[in-house]
């Protein structure tokens, strides 16, 4: 986080609405990605973003270190998404092959990928979503999820490994 970003977060914490709106524009898609990674539902993920931003504005004074603001926002969104998830369905993530004998085509690959993503822990799905769909670099993802570089490497490495094991037949067809 550079000095101007830090100042922006500091101003938002102190009640500057313009600074907070800039933070919303900067972090909105990432918060959506995190919520979507947990809920896999657009409407609910949008609700989570809205609820999280309202809560963040009301309780912003709790953040002492402006550099922690993105991770704090992400934590609020994750907790809110989990609240909704708990009311909806149980969670499990077996890392086993899915339909390995089915024919491979683009539609089938997409469906298998979706099924495989759903088996990952939510933090792993959030990291993958931020990397591939938001095209964020590791440093930005670390700040957003509040994890170290080593932890993020492990998360993305294990996630790709789990996905490639589940999609192995599709990968073989790409030779």
Exposed, middle or buried, 150 (CB in 10 Å: 0-12/13-18/19+)? Answer: exposed
| Cα 152 from chain centroid (whole Å) | 12
How many angstroms separate the Cα of 33 from the Cα of each of 58, 120, 139, 151?
22, 15, 16, 19
Q: Sketch the per residue contact string, 52 through 91, with another protein: x for CB under 8 A, - otherwise.
A: ----------------------------------------
Separation in Å, CA 170 to CA 2, 29, 151, 164, 165? 42, 30, 28, 9, 10
Q: How many CB atoms lie within 10 A of CB 4?
A: 7
Binding mask 10-49 for another protein (x = CB under 8 A): -----------------------x--xx--xxx-------
Taking the least distance from each CB to another protein, the nearer of 98 and 171 is 171
The answer to whether 132 contacts another protein (rule: CB under 8 A) is: yes
Q: How far is the CB of 71 from another protein (least distance, A)?
A: 19
The footprint of another protein (CB under 8 A) covers: 33, 36-37, 40-42, 106-107, 109-111, 113-114, 117, 128-129, 131-133, 135, 137-138, 153-154, 156-161, 163-164, 167-168, 170-171, 174
């Amino acid at each position: 986080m550079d000095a101007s970003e830090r100042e922006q977060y500091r101003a938002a914490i102190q009640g500057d609405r313009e600074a907070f709106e800039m933070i919303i524009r900067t972090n909105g898609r990432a918060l959506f990605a995190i919520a979507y990674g947990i809920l896999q539902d657009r409407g609910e993920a949008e609700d989570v973003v809205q609820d999280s931003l309202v809560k963040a504005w009301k309780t912003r004074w709790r953040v002492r270190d402006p550099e922690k603001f993105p991770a704090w926002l992400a934590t609020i969104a994750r907790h809110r998404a989990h609240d909704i998830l708990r009311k909806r369905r149980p969670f499990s993530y077996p890392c086993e092959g899915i339909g390995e004998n089915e024919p491979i085509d683009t539609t089938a690959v997409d469906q298998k990928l979706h099924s495989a993503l759903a088996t990952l822990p939510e933090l792993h799905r959030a990291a993958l979503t931020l990397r591939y769909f938001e095209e964020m670099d590791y440093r930005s993802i670390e700040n957003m999820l509040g994890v170290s570089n080593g932890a993020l490497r492990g998360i993305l490495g294990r996630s790709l490994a789990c996905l490639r094991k589940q999609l192995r037949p599709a990968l073989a067809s790409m030779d």
